[in-house]
Amino acid sequence: MEKLARKRVQALTPYQSARRIGGSGDVWLNANESPFDNEYKLDCSRLNRYGECQPQELINAYADYSNVQPEQVLTTRGADEGIELLIRAFCEPGEEAILYCPPTYGMYEISAETIGVRQKQVPLTQDWQLDLDAIEDNLNQVKLVFVCNPNNPTGNLIRKEDIVALLEMTKDRAIVVVDEAYIDFCLEMSSADLIEQYPNLAILRTMSKAFALAGLRCGFVLADENIINVLLKVIAPYPVPLPVSDIAIAALSESGLAKMQSQVLELNANRAYLKAGLDLMSGLTVFDGWGNFLLVQFPDGDELFKATWDAGMILRNSPLENGVRISIGSRDECEKVLGFIRNYYS
């Protein structure tokens, strides 16, 4: 049966998500999840009926939160579905390509490969910014340019003026997709205010991180109405389960947003605490992070990763040599990891 699969799929190495990698322990800082387990009440009286394709109350709530118009919002099954929808809708398999800038999120490549769309890579510069000249030289047949901001796994922000320059460069040629999965931790740096000016801009969002709803699988695409209408042609008929819509609407209510914003402040404080503690140790390079994680370069990253794994503290390997990505958890979790690393190098 495996031989019946498409050749591309046979050769494909699946994305190594945190759950696929596994592990065991009581400190899980490998998937950029929130440590907050918020409670919600569910109404299960309507589950015999299909929900709306795009629940209007949810669309309106997220539009208000993002300061865009409801017609500029599409809700999806996590931001990952947004990636796939954009590639399926705008790229001809076997003819056209996407472009992305490693080191960055791995699903851009995997989604394109699965669909049969070519991929072009233009690495980030040494300071992890866009190499605009190299991007311009590689735009032939490119329909989508993916930019992760804040970037995963590096944690840095891409300069907004460079995003604007990229939008200008790709006018009438390609769509710039800014993946803002972590933007809620620095919302003032969002590119959402550019949608009105640039019809070739699409923004990916998720409720998995700052909203502490990774298990809900609720994401959004923000874009010009024309892009949204194209995506509506290829999205599944009923992409939003009723419980997902209900919980997401509750999380976007006045009280829900107040809770999220309070938790973001706490996580940002925990990130500063962890960074300050690691900065005091010699031989480590701790990169500035704007999301809910830090990238750290250790003298022996693979050995450190294995040592924490064996101790029940599950972190994440990074493409950076000797790099380990540490999600920001509770203060207790940050203290445990910091204490272990201090003892490991003492």
Tokens of 22: 């596994």
Is the pLDDT confidence value at 10 over 90? no
* Terminal Cα-to-Cα distance of the chain (whole angstroms): 53
Query: What is the CATH number assigned to the segment(s) 2-36+256-345?
Result: 3.90.1150.10
Supply the pLDDT for residue 43: 87
- Residue 219 pLDDT > 90: yes
pLDDT band, residue 66 (cuts 50/70/90): very high
pLDDT tens digits along 78-124: 999 999 999 999 999 999 999 999 999 999 999 999 999 999 999 99
CA distance 327 to 271: 9
Q: Of 76, 19, 13, nearest to 238 (Cα)?
A: 76
Phi, psi of 32 (to 5 degrees): 55, 35
* 319: phi then psi, degrees, rounded to nearest 5: -60, -25
State CA 21 to chain mean position distance.
18
Condensed to tens digits (0 to 9), the pLDDT of residues 13-34 reads: 776 666 666 676 789 999 999 9
Q: Which of 331, 344, 346, 319 minimizes the C-alpha distance to 29?
A: 331
Residues 220-267 have pLDDT tens digits of 999 999 999 999 999 999 999 999 999 999 999 999 999 999 999 999
pLDDT at 7: 79
CA–CA separation, 41 and 149 (whole Å) = 33
* Nearest alpha carbon to residue 107 among 157, 66, 53, 144: 144
pLDDT at 20: 64
pLDDT of residue 44: 87
- Residue 13's pLDDT is 75
For residue 18, what pLDDT is reported?
60
Q: What average pLDDT score do residues 68-79 get?
A: 98
Looking at residue 11, its pLDDT comes to: 79
Q: Where are the domains of the chain?
A: 2-36+256-345, 56-254
Check residues 145 and 21 and name the one with the higher pLDDT.
145
Measured CA to CA, the distance from residue 4 to residue 48 in angstroms comes to 36
Q: What CATH code is assigned to 56-254?
A: 3.40.640.10
Q: Return the amino acid letter for 133.
A: D
**Residue 346: per-residue pLDDT:** 85
Nearest to 293 by CA among 36, 100, 34, 78: 34
Q: Judging by DSSP bridges, how do beta strands 313-314 and 27-28 pair with one another?
A: parallel
Which residues are 293's β-sheet partners? 327
* Residue 77 and residue 50 in contact, taking contact as beta carbons nearer than 8 Å: no
The answer, yes or no, to whether the previous bond of 150 is cis (omega within 30 of 0) is yes
Total H helices, total E strands in the chain: 12, 13
| Nearest alpha-carbon partner for 317 in 339, 335, 295, 340 | 295
pLDDT score recorded for residue 12 = 72
Give tens-digit pLDDT for 147-199. 999 999 999 999 999 999 999 999 999 999 999 999 999 999 999 999 999 99
3-state helix, strand, coil in the chain (%, to 5): 45, 15, 40
Residue 68 is predicted with a pLDDT of 98
